């Protein structure tokens, strides 16, 4: 069987191009593929569009590093610490360069990915009628429902170039398991041209086949699998890793000024040089985040005879 | 002056819990509403369901203080773990009784801004944005807004409507195409406001112990009118305080 296993550096080099639309925050506040953002910054990718309903500090650091030209999303900041300083600098002062914003709500962004995944030309909704999102995002059109003759909003499809998804475990063939809250992982994985999995563990394909209902994005949609233990740090991963709240708080403080943000980038992105270097730098901090409690689900029987 | 047996934030939590009726399905954001949901399940609403936009539902809040909705503590023991579309889809599906949101600015019709201060084309301050707030405001049967009560936040007109309240008042919300919903209550650190009259303008419903009508009006950026039965906010009961202490075991809100 062919393997999709590769290194993160190779996956980013071959599958992410300047100008791509990239999904990094599909799990919302869990399973954020931070290791991929670090590699994108190290390889100096430019003019990317960030696509995600909410972007915790992963989006903010990509903006500060100059990788992002446009934000397509509903929320950008630092979930537990507050506003995103790099986001504010880019929008308010054009630093390090101006960025464009396409405003959505969480639900309409998710529907745009759903439409991209399943070939819908647009999705008619009522949810954001009356909101100024209708004004600041010119791609969302106002129309009349042909059935009820009442106002509706039309959400156009999104088909991102690349989606990075952090998962608990994956096999070399691209099949994977992910659990906990799923955010828009399925819609992003089904809509994106190229899906790259950051797997906390690599397992035999039989492990995945033992519970196919837990496969959220099928392996045939996956371009590459990268083994990145704790690659979602500092975000959490259900059943595997706790959230490193202090890391978000420290980032918030250090990103307040461009100079201290550059120092942060040097310390946590450039000098570690790779996911392995980053883990080594975290050192014993990683062990304190590892979930040791066992709260196992009862197996589901798929027997056939 | 003797020390009140509860903090202002604890009073806000209990006032928020009183907005949840039994068997209701409610969208709860982070922090204060999560604790309020816990108090509600221990007092008036044992069979309420709490929804989280990341893709979770719970019958009780998680044990312990959360940093985010996706914390492993919030996954453990969830009633439902699914996707954003599945959980938030209950809003336009008409299955959500109430939703709780915050914001940076609110106006006299209860429209909330959490996106841009100033002109959105050239903003003075870029705020994080809607998240799920616009969907909750648009499609929950009623929304409850929780904010600190400052004059620069309670304004005549918000600079950007992220989350629609009563829009321009009267029937403008239904004319915009929103079939139901609107503001149920605005709970602040000074008072509770509710829409009233044909224009559905926010009126003073009650003012918290230690505050006066004049104080609340001074901190409101429009000419705040009073509900006919405007009165002090009822003090927390012993049962409510006890429930709160059980939910907030770390004493985060004390």
**How many domains does chain B divide into?**
1
**Residues A225, A7, A183: CA angle, nearest 5 degrees:** 40
Residues A141-152, mean pLDDT to the nearest whole number: 98
Residues B214-240, mean pLDDT to the nearest whole number: 98
CB contact under 8 A, B89 and A184: no
CB contact under 8 A, B91 and A105: no
Q: Percent of chain B scored above 70 by pLDDT? A: 98
Chain B positions touching A87 (Cβ under 8 A) are 126, 128
**For residue A278, what are the contacts with CB-CB under 8 A and spacing of at least 6?**
A35, A38, A233, A268, A272
Task: Give the pLDDT score at B31.
Answer: 84
Domain A5-121+157-289 class, CATH top level: alpha beta
Residues A152-161, mean pLDDT to the nearest whole number: 98
B254 or B17: whose pLDDT is higher?
A: B17
If contacts are CB pairs under 8 Å, which of residues 182-241 in chain B contact chain A?
none
Query: With an 8 Å Cβ cutoff, is B168 touching chain A?
Result: no
Give the pLDDT band of residue B250 (cuts 50, 70, 90).
confident
Beta pairing, strands A21-23 & A48-55 = parallel
Residues B27-40, mean pLDDT to the nearest whole number: 92
Chain segment A55-69, per-residue pLDDT in tens: 899 999 999 999 999
- Number of A to B CB contacts under 8 A, please give it: 204
**Mean model confidence pLDDT for chain B:** 96
Chain segment B70-104, per-residue pLDDT in tens: 999 999 999 999 999 999 999 999 999 999 999 99
Task: Give the pLDDT score at A2.
Answer: 85
Instruction: Return d(Cα B170, Cα B158) in angstroms, integer.
Output: 17
Give the pLDDT band of residue B110 (cuts 50, 70, 90).
very high
Give the pLDDT band of residue B1 (cuts 50, 70, 90).
very low
**Mean model confidence pLDDT for chain A:** 97
Assigned domain for B252 exists: no
Instruction: Return d(Cα A161, Cα B128) in angstroms, integer.
Output: 25
Assigned domain for B154 exists: yes
Residues B139-156, mean pLDDT to the nearest whole number: 98
Q: The domain containing residue B122 runs over which residues?
A: 8-247
Chain segment B39-76, per-residue pLDDT in tens: 999 999 999 999 999 999 999 999 888 899 999 999 99
- Asked if B240 is an active-site residue, the reply is no
- Asked if the model's pLDDT at residue A133 lies above 50, the reply is yes
Chain B positions touching A25 (Cβ under 8 A) are none
- Asked if the model's pLDDT at residue B2 lies above 60, the reply is no
A178: distance to nearest CA of chain B, Å?
11
Residues B117-143, mean pLDDT to the nearest whole number: 96
Torsion on CA atoms A267, A268, A270, A275, rounded to nearest 10 = 140
Render A125-153 in DSSP notation, one character per residue: ESTTTTSTHHHH-TTSEEEE-TTT--EEE
Assigned domain for B120 exists: yes
Looking at B10, B53, B201, B240, which residue is catalytic? B53
Task: Give the pLDDT score at A282.
Answer: 97
CATH number, residue B184:
3.40.1080.10
CB contact under 8 A, A28 and B55: yes
Task: Give the pLDDT score at B3.
Answer: 56
- Asked if the model's pLDDT at residue A238 lies above 90, the reply is yes
Chain segment A270-280, per-residue pLDDT in tens: 999 999 999 99
- Asked if the model's pLDDT at residue A1 lies above 70, the reply is no
């Amino acid at each position: 069987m062919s393997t999709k296993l590769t290194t993160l550096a190779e996956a980013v080099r071959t599958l992410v191009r300047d100008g791509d639309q990239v999904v990094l925050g599909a799990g919302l506040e869990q399973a954020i593929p931070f290791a991929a953002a670090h590699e994108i910054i190290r390889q100096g990718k430019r003019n990317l569009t960030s696509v995600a309903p909410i972007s915790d500090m992963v989006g903010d650091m990509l903006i500060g590093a100059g990788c992002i030209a446009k934000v397509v999303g509903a929320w950008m900041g630092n979930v537990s610490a507050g506003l995103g300083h790099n986001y504010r600098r880019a929008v308010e002062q054009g630093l390090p360069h101006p960025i464009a914003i396409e405003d959505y709500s969480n639900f309409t962004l998710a529907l745009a990915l759903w439409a991209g995944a399943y070939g819908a030309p647009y999705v008619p909704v009522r949810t954001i009628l009356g909101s100024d999102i209708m004004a600041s995002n010119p791609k969302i059109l106002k129309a009349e429902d042909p059935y009820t003759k009442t106002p509706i909003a039309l959400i156009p499809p999104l088909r991102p170039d690349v989606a990075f998804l952090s998962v608990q475990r994956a096999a070399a063939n691209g099949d994977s398991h992910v659990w906990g809250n799923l955010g828009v992982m399925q819609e992003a994985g089904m809509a994106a041209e190229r899906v790259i999995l950051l797997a906390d563990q690599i397992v035999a394909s039989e492990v995945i086949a033992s519970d196919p209902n837990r496969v959220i994005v099928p392996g045939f949609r996956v371009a590459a699998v990268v083994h990145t233990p704790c690659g979602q740090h500092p975000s959490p991963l259900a059943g595997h890793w706790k959230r490193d709240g202090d890391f978000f708080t420290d980032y918030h403080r250090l990103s307040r000024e461009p100079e201290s943000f550059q120092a942060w980038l040097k310390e946590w992105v450039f000098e570690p040089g790779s996911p392995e270097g980053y883990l080594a730098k975290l050192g014993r901090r990683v062990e304190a985040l590892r979930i040791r409690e066992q709260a196992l689900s009862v197996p589901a029987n798929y027997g056939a005879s | 002056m003797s020390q009140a047996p509860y903090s202002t934030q604890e009073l806000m939590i209990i006032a928020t819990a009183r907005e949840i009726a039994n068997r209701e399905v409610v969208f709860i954001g982070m922090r204060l509403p999560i604790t309020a949901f816990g108090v509600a399940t221990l007092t008036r609403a044992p069979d309420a369901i709490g929804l989280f936009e990341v893709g979770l539902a719970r019958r009780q809040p998680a044990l312990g203080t959360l940093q985010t909705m996706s914390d492993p503590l919030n996954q453990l023991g969830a009633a439902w773990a699914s996707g954003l579309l599945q959980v938030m889809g209950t809003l336009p599906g008409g299955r959500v009784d109430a939703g709780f949101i915050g914001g940076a600015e609110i106006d006299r019709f209860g429209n909330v801004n959490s996106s841009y201060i100033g002109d959105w084309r050239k903003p003075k301050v870029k705020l994080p944005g809607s998240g799920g707030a616009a969907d909750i405001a648009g499609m929950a049967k009623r929304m409850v807004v929780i904010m600190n009560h400052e004059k620069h936040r309670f304004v005549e007109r918000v600079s950007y409507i992220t989350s629609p309240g009563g829009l321009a008042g009267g029937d403008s919300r239904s004319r915009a195409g929103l079939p139901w919903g609107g503001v149920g209550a605005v709970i602040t650190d000074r008072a509770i406001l509710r829409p009233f009259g044909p224009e559905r303008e926010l009126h003073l419903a009650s003012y918290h112990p230690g505050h006066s009508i004049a104080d609340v009006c001074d901190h409101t950026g429009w000419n705040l009118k009073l509900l006919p039965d405007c009165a002090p906010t009822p003090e927390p009961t012993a049962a409510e305080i006890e429930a709160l202490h059980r939910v907030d075991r770390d004493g985060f809100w004390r």
